[in-house]
Amino acid sequence: MRRTVLILAVLAAQLYGEPAFAGGPPKNGIRWARDFDEAFAEAKERHVPVMIAFVQDGEAQNDEEPAVVYPDAKVVKASRALVCLIASRGTAKDHGEVSVTEPGSKSRNVCSKFGAVSCNEHQKIETLAFRQYTNGSINTPCHIFASPDGKEMFRAEDYVDSAALMRLMKQATDKLGPGIGAEEYEQLQQTLKDGESLFATKAYGAAAAKYLVLSAKALKIPAVDRARDRLSEIDKLGAAEITAADQKTQAKDWVGAYSQLARIAVVFKGVRAEKEARARLADVEKNPDAGEAHKLAALEEKARPMIAQAETLMQKGQTDKAEALYRKVIQSFPATPSASIARDRLGIGEPPATPPKAKDGNPK
Ligand SMILES: [Zn+2]
């Protein structure tokens, strides 16, 4: 055990007031997982090994790992084929921490020595890993490779340089067989997230396009299962809307039927319901009794390019521009199916059937 060495070195550093890792955390270094259990849950989904790196402070060979080996671009790239945990007892006082803000999340503290995790997080990981993978002592640096179920595959109880560490990583991934790399996994998660937010705004066709990307993957992961569930949900929703439109047609409510079908054609763009809606819209257009619906159709023709553009902007994440265009559709063509879609997207309700008029004739 080298823990005695560690304590003396840290004491020395504190006594002489040496700044702890003044350069800040390594940029683009290994993306250490922040939680022991979550690391294994992710490893299970991806079918990849977990590497647990035990590193102590204040000893030359231990220090070499985070100073030289872990920030090595080749090592970082190889590490993406696994889930990596850093097990260190060092405190925020020992290592120093900096606050970072990642896109789309709150700011958090990150350890200046290892990066990616806070000192508190790597301490907790050390406690759990030490309990699970040692008999009360360990020679560090030590790299333990475990299968997703937590079973140790093998360990290397000594200093490893970049080439040696990459060999170990490859040995572990080869032993386990093909898994999902971190890039692909993160992309899949992002695609699901995009699909879910489109689904929430009832842009079912656009959401389906995201879900289809996921469902085409021959992967047994929750994101793919979720996407498949959503696709059948979208099919059911579309079928229900078509049925409702058909009931309006049977009741000779041509305007009602037209409005609903035109909505379906936009909202369910690219999925089965769109095709069915378009066939029925053609029938309404041919129907000589549907004069009022034809007037509405003429207005909808004008609104359609605007709503199509707004939908595209929204899917590209240009929310502000999309919202401005939705408002324009509502203002210019308030009675059209496109305006009804725009209200959905902006989360505002349908207006009363006959809007109250002010004295000057403008709607209130
Ligand atoms: Zn730390």
Q: Do 34 and 118 lie in a common domain?
A: yes
Instruction: Report CA(44)–ligand 1 centroid distance (Å).
Output: 27
Q: Do 168 and 205 lie in a common domain?
A: no
Instruction: Report CA(28)–ligand 1 centroid distance (Å).
Output: 16
Helical packing angle, 36-46 and 119-133, nearest 10°: 70
Examine the pLDDT at 30 and tell me if it is beyond 70.
yes
The rounded radius of gyration (Å) of the Cα atoms in the chain is 29
Instruction: Report CA(46)–ligand 1 centroid distance (Å).
Output: 27
Instruction: Report CA(96)–ligand 1 centroid distance (Å).
Output: 7
Instruction: Report CA(92)–ligand 1 centroid distance (Å).
Output: 6
List, for residues 328-338, the tens digit of each pLDDT value.
999 999 999 99
What pLDDT is stored for residue 351 in this prediction? 75
Task: pLDDT band for 220, please (50, 70, 90 cuts).
Answer: confident
Residues 335-347, buried b or exposed e (16+ Cβ, 10 A)?
ebbbbbbbbbbee
Single-letter amino acid, residue 136? G
As a whole number of angstroms, the distance between CA 91 and CA 205 comes to 50
Examine the pLDDT at 250 and tell me if it is beyond 90.
yes
Instruction: Report CA(304)–ligand 1 centroid distance (Å).
Output: 56
Q: What end-to-end distance do the CA atoms of the chain give, in Å?
A: 79
Q: Which domain holds residue 171?
A: 3-179
Residue 284 and residue 293 in contact, taking contact as beta carbons nearer than 8 Å: yes
Helix (H, G, I), strand (E, B) or coil at 298: helix
- In this structure, how many other beta carbons lie within 10 angstroms of the beta carbon of residue 94? 21
As a whole number of angstroms, the distance between CA 305 and CA 261 comes to 17
Task: pLDDT band for 19, please (50, 70, 90 cuts).
Answer: very low
Instruction: Report CA(180)–ligand 1 centroid distance (Å).
Output: 28
Report yes or no on 164 lying in a domain.
yes
Q: CATH number for the domain including 165?
A: 3.40.30.10
2-16, 41-55, 179-193: range with lowest mean pLDDT: 2-16
Percentage of the chain with pLDDT > 90?
A: 77
Examine the pLDDT at 362 and tell me if it is beyond 60.
no
Report yes or no on 288 lying in a domain.
yes
Instruction: Report CA(185)–ligand 1 centroid distance (Å).
Output: 27
The gap from C-alpha 353 to its chain's centroid, in whole angstroms, comes to 41
- Two tokens, residue 307: 């709503």
Instruction: Select from 43, 60, 59 the least CA-distant residue to 51.
Output: 43
What pLDDT is stored for residue 38 in this prediction? 96
Task: pLDDT band for 354, please (50, 70, 90 cuts).
Answer: low
Out of 56-60, 167-171, 267-271, the most confident range is 167-171
What pLDDT is stored for residue 169 in this prediction? 98
What pLDDT is stored for residue 22 in this prediction? 62
What pLDDT is stored for residue 143 in this prediction? 98
Single-letter amino acid, residue 142? C
Q: Do 90 and 201 lie in a common domain?
A: no
What pLDDT is stored for residue 10 in this prediction? 47
Helix (H, G, I), strand (E, B) or coil at 90: coil
Instruction: Report CA(12)–ligand 1 centroid distance (Å).
Output: 18
* pTM, full prediction: 0.73
Residue 303 and residue 339 in contact, taking contact as beta carbons nearer than 8 Å: yes
Report yes or no on 271 lying in a domain.
yes
Q: Do 161 and 251 lie in a common domain?
A: no
Q: Do 193 and 164 lie in a common domain?
A: no
Instruction: Report CA(118)–ligand 1 centroid distance (Å).
Output: 6
Q: Do 165 and 290 lie in a common domain?
A: no
Identify the residue with better confidence: 301 or 354. Answer: 301
Of 121, 150, 179, the one marking the end of a domain is: 179
Instruction: Report CA(198)–ligand 1 centroid distance (Å).
Output: 39
- Two tokens, residue 338: 């496109």
Examine the pLDDT at 130 and tell me if it is beyond 70.
yes
Report yes or no on 49 lying in a domain.
yes
Instruction: Report CA(222)–ligand 1 centroid distance (Å).
Output: 32
As a whole number of angstroms, the distance between CA 148 and CA 83 comes to 9
Average pLDDT over residues 265-283: 94
Q: Do 34 and 158 lie in a common domain?
A: yes
Q: Do 48 and 126 lie in a common domain?
A: yes
Instruction: Report CA(145)–ligand 1 centroid distance (Å).
Output: 21
21-35, 224-238, 347-361: range with lowest mean pLDDT: 347-361
What pLDDT is stored for residue 345 in this prediction? 87
Q: Do 187 and 167 lie in a common domain?
A: no
Instruction: Report CA(267)–ligand 1 centroid distance (Å).
Output: 49
Backbone φ and ψ for 297, nearest 5 degrees, come out as -60, -35
Identify the residue with better confidence: 132 or 9. Answer: 132
Instruction: Report CA(53)–ligand 1 centroid distance (Å).
Output: 13
Instruction: Report CA(156)–ligand 1 centroid distance (Å).
Output: 22
Instruction: Report CA(113)–ligand 1 centroid distance (Å).
Output: 6
Report yes or no on 162 lying in a domain.
yes
List, for residues 59-110, the tens digit of each pLDDT value.
999 999 999 999 999 999 999 999 999 999 999 999 999 998 877 778 999 9
Report yes or no on 364 lying in a domain.
no
Instruction: Report CA(122)–ligand 1 centroid distance (Å).
Output: 7
Helical packing angle, 36-46 and 182-200, nearest 10°: 90
Identify the residue with better confidence: 157 or 351. Answer: 157
Q: CA of 269: how far to CAs of 275, 276, 286, in Å?
A: 8, 11, 23
Instruction: Report CA(105)–ligand 1 centroid distance (Å).
Output: 21
Instruction: Report CA(165)–ligand 1 centroid distance (Å).
Output: 21
Q: Do 187 and 335 lie in a common domain?
A: yes
Instruction: Report CA(184)–ligand 1 centroid distance (Å).
Output: 28
Instruction: Report CA(166)–ligand 1 centroid distance (Å).
Output: 23
Q: Do 61 and 161 lie in a common domain?
A: yes
What pLDDT is stored for residue 20 in this prediction? 55
Helix (H, G, I), strand (E, B) or coil at 148: coil
Q: Do 98 and 237 lie in a common domain?
A: no
List, for residues 309-329, the tens digit of each pLDDT value.
998 898 888 999 999 999 999
Report yes or no on 352 lying in a domain.
no
Instruction: Report CA(18)–ligand 1 centroid distance (Å).
Output: 16
Examine the pLDDT at 15 and tell me if it is beyond 50.
no
The mean predicted confidence, pLDDT, of the chain is 89
Q: How many domains does the chain have?
A: 2
Examine the pLDDT at 129 and tell me if it is beyond 80.
yes
Examine the pLDDT at 16 and tell me if it is beyond 50.
no
